[in-house]
Structure 1
């Protein structure tokens, strides 16, 4: 039998687990349409703020040997731009599976304002609250302040009833995995997304004796192969700690079908592709789908559920 990549996420059946990572190939309606027409099973909008942001000065993204470094600074077209697109998309594709809408306000009040607007809107997809943007100068990552996570989610779930997930940064300590999972398990979250980029790396151009991106004196978020082991660790840590009703989306270092297989083995249900999508374009989804099927065929798996989450320990 030929392997099937059918994936059930929040009671919806997707033809494969692949989608873009927010921030990559999703800034404009043109890019969103290209995702819609690709082999990705769904897609997520650019993390939006209430009003349009230009983001950090260029150059702010650089491809490097094992991935990428970026300090984008949340450039986006503004909340209303993406909400208009999402609602029109739904009407035009009424039988399509839900898409994802990402919000990343610069303050708690801004996030609450956008979530209230989504709650009151006709949007009936899945919402992702980005608690982990590491590249806005002067703004710390919310998700490293555990009390603030509780404060935000408590306020959100006083009024928000649509499916909601949170984008998390990488954590590096078992005590932090335990503490964050304990907080998240108190709320009716649909999923967690592990991970955003590893914040504040530094890549050096030795020939020119300089950094390679302009914002923050060269400090930026790492993506790609650099981050896969950290991403896998976070996927596994939260898969084994969260209530079964809270799914895990795996993001970080997915360049090949094997990378996708490893994320699924750790317990991820959906997979987001960032750096490799930026490098290769939307055709990456066709390649990843074929490579994952080849691995499953070779191992004798006909469905993802036969191995998902079943990572063996020694």
Structure 2
């Protein structure tokens, strides 16, 4: 019932982790691989190992989370070595995420992936709002186009891009016009809403240390923005560019709404952090129940068929 065709592979269901959550170490990745998730993605890699920002840098709040992680990861070679070993034991495509601190670093890592035996899907993270002093590439339309121009002079494997949220119809139009120029496999929308602030009312203090408490917001707070971005890109991108919907998925109903807006795959971040990999079993059951109640046998029967008011 939940089988999802994505890049010519039938995944058992559309659920994945969001890169950055429960995917830092081999142990965590192995736990995802044996969970009920249809697929999983590795931690966004930088060329060298990074410790990330000072702690506390993540905080659970009642309606979601706030974080300023600073891309902690074990380095590009760590994840590539894992991916190459893991793909020998599975037919399911692996998702590999890269997030360099510059365009040059991204190009260098993508060239290594292109030259390697990695046969899965690569995600280029153009949305890293939590690195102090570093702007987001995806909010600079000229730099985004320049980056993709360079990438597609040599990269031939399946590639998607992770995007931040946009808030203006003109920006949806501009970014879609750029993305439609390239043979992208998908866009992943959205990353966290950047530079929120949460206050501990007992201490009158911010709850995370980096950037004087400013951090990316995830969870229930962001679902309406995530749905809007999924819908905006679904209706603007050429059909061969699929959408991975990310943001505010706590329940099967949230997942259903992302699919209704046009997503093909779904990533779970904050709630995975709170519940652990067991969440995927719950989400698949809840989504299947909703589909049964509505009389749907497959996701394709309702995916993208959001109704508007005449």
TM-score range normalised by the length of the shorter chain: over 0.9
- Partner of residue 67 from structure 2, selected from 62, 65, 70: 70
The CA deviation at 1:206 is 1.2
Q: Which residue of 2 aligns with 1:215?
A: 210
User: Secondary structure at the residue paired with 2:88?
Assistant: helix
User: Secondary structure at the residue paired with 2:177?
Assistant: helix
- Partner of residue 29 from structure 2, selected from 29, 32, 39: 32
> In the comparison of the two structures, how many residue pairs are matched?
309
Distance in 2, Cα, partners of 1:293 & 1:188: 32
Q: Which residue of 2 aligns with 1:293?
A: 288
Distance in 1, Cα, partners of 2:201 & 2:28: 34
Q: CA RMSD in A?
A: 0.4
Cα-to-partner distance string for 1:140-166 (whole Å, 9 max, x where unaligned) = 011000000000000000000000000
Q: Does 1:82 align with 2:79?
A: yes
The CA deviation at 1:97 is 1.4
The CA deviation at 1:47 is 0.1
Structure 2 gaps, min length 5: none
TM-score w.r.t. length of structure 2: 0.99
The CA deviation at 1:92 is 2.1
- Partner of residue 179 from structure 1, selected from 174, 179, 182: 174
Cα-to-partner distance string for 1:250-302 (whole Å, 9 max, x where unaligned) = 00000000000000000000000000000000000000000000000000001
The CA deviation at 1:91 is 1.0
Q: Does 1:284 align with 2:279?
A: yes
Distance in 2, Cα, partners of 1:267 & 1:89: 30
Cα-to-partner distance string for 1:47-87 (whole Å, 9 max, x where unaligned) = 00000000000000000000000000000000000000000
The CA deviation at 1:126 is 0.2
| 1:94-173 pair list within 5 angstroms | 96-173=91-168
Q: Which residue of 1 aligns with 2:232?
A: 237
The CA deviation at 1:46 is 0.1
Q: Does 1:202 align with 2:202?
A: no
User: Secondary structure at the residue paired with 1:102?
Assistant: strand
Q: Which residue of 2 aligns with 1:41?
A: 38
TM-score w.r.t. length of structure 1: 0.98
User: Secondary structure at the residue paired with 2:19?
Assistant: coil
